[in-house]
Amino acid sequence: MKFNKVIPALILAIAVLGLTSCKKEYSSSTGWEVNNPKNGGFEVRPYSEQPTGPGLVFIEGGNFTMGETQDDIMFDWSNQPRRVTVSSFYMDQTEVRNLDYIEYLYWLNRVYSTDYPGVYKKALPDTLVWRDKLAYNEPLVEYYFRHPAYRTYPVVGVSWVQANDYCAWRTNMVNEMLLIQRGILAMDPAQKNENSFNTEAYLAGQYEGLPDKLLPDLSPNGTGKRKAKMEDGILLPKYRLPTEAEWEFAALGLMGNTLYERIVEKKNYPWNGNFVRTSESKYYGSFMDNFRRAKGDYMGVAGNLNDGADVPASAGAYFPNDYGLYNMAGNVSEWVLDVYRPLSSTEVSDLHPFRGNVFKTQVRNPDGTLAEKDSLGQMKYRDVTIAESFNRKNYKSADNINYLDGDYASNIEVDNWKSPPKDTSSTNLMYDYGKSSLITDQVRVYKGGSWKDPAFYLSPGTRRFLDQNESSDCIGFRCAMTRVGGSIPGKK
């Protein structure tokens, strides 16, 4: 027992010694020695590069022609080809599975059910999406989400809002485990409500948890021990939904078709060629993904099934693309981050294109300190005000969903209109919901074909939309993560 206590203390002592004496480092701007408590204790902790989070694969970015790659059979013309650049990022190798989402629900129930049962109920997927007035789908209603036979299948019946909540939970779970693995926090399975781990609350000093071996604090004003900071590089960026551009870029997987900055073969699908069957001799004739081949043909003929799946198949089924991503065409369609506008392709930026920004800031007390976290342990946010944005040139208000899409505010800025319409508060200048359009500020883009779609929707360039609070039996999601630092791993 005594030996076990000595070893961690020795490791800590060696770490402190390494910071203060083994290798001296000096500031290139002031010449002062860093990591030295005798001269102020400014710390520069060693850092190589961002590790790959659980479930993710690295997606090397670049420029590509985003948009339709074949005739638009719906004549929407909502994704006109244009060249854009996407930075390197990370994306889930598969769609989020039923098992992954059940783990999320288990955690919510364990942490919040006693005092806030509504949190768990709000996160439940809508299993009734399987019902069809003229089909017998009750077995799917009852078994698809919970039965272990489907545990590796993609979760469906999840709205865009629910998918975002899952991403936030996953961020906190991964970062808490990173701190536990570093020995900074101890395992705390008894955490409840506002005492549950939250990355932002931890960084704001509003989560204590069960400290284990805190980091040495070299500041003469400190206590000798401290929690991890953003500057330490221990915590990962947020898990989130990918933007539409990121999703389409990752789905195409053009890195396998590039030779000295030349894309030698354009793709209609995440694989080469214009066919939905593979030409590889070993698997010749096999379907590349799960989709509806024709009306009434979801899986083929007994004894010679084509894709072999009448509804979604396992999230790791079929062939991955050149990034190693599975089912980027077919199986289930997937939510992305963007608000839908038919002409986004002509309006958004050519670097990191995205529509849907609502800029927020953390709520602060009158004395400037951060407001106390809420009863669920989450930090409070609000929209930035017009007054706070008054002297800015890059934005003037928080909500930029409608920017340059025909709403009154955009036309004031662009055309300096003299006669304002009666309704200047929403998108009704351009979109009259329920009469001439189904577009609102709450409709989000979903990408890719699904098990119930024809081959046309397997093209990554196709795009459709659904209200962010609705769900479907053919829409799932996968998470992404921003890559911080260099675009190529291992290169400074």
Percent of the chain topping pLDDT 70: 86
Token pair for 451: 């098990």
Q: Tell me how far apart the alpha carbons of residues 268 and 275 are, in angstroms, rounded to a whole number.
A: 9
Helix ranges restricted to H, 381-479: 408-415
What are the pLDDT digits (tens) for 15-43? 444 444 457 899 999 999 999 999 999 99
pLDDT at 437: 76
| pLDDT surpassing 60 at residue 65 | yes
Q: Report the range of poorest mean pLDDT among 2-16, 245-259, 466-480.
A: 2-16
Residues 6+ apart with CB under 8 A from 111: 191, 192, 193, 196
Strand partners of residue 300 = 305
Rounded to the nearest integer, the mean pLDDT of the chain is 88
Select from 3.20.20.10, 3.30.1330.10, 3.90.1580.10, 3.20.20.80 the CATH code of 53-182+228-356+450-492: 3.90.1580.10
Strand partners of residue 443 = 467
**If pLDDT is split at 50, 70 and 90, which confidence band does 69 have?**
confident
In the chain, what are the domain boundaries? Answer: 2-39, 53-182+228-356+450-492
| Burial readout 204-230 (b: 16 or more C-beta within 10 A, e: otherwise) | bebbebeeebbbbbbeeeeeeebbbee
What are the pLDDT digits (tens) for 274-298? 777 665 656 655 777 898 988 998 9
Compute the half-sphere exposure of residue 145: CA atoms within 13 Å on the CB side of its CA.
20
Q: Is 435 left (phi over 0), alpha (psi -120 to 50) or beta?
A: alpha
DSSP string, 161-186: HHHHHHHHHHHHHHHHHHHHHTTSB-
Tell me the mean pLDDT in the region 262-273: 81
pTM: 0.90
pLDDT at 14: 40
pLDDT at 431: 67
CA distances from 246 to 62, 63, 118, 380 (A): 10, 11, 33, 28
Q: Tell me how far apart the alpha carbons of residues 304 and 38 are, in angstroms, rounded to a whole number.
A: 76
Q: For the beta carbon of residue 180, count every other beta carbon within 10 angstroms.
A: 17
pLDDT at 272: 78
DSSP annotation of 242 reads P
Side chain identity at residue 90, one-letter code: Y
What are the pLDDT digits (tens) for 413-423? 544 444 555 55
Nearest CA among 167, 160, 179, 255 for reference residue 470: 160
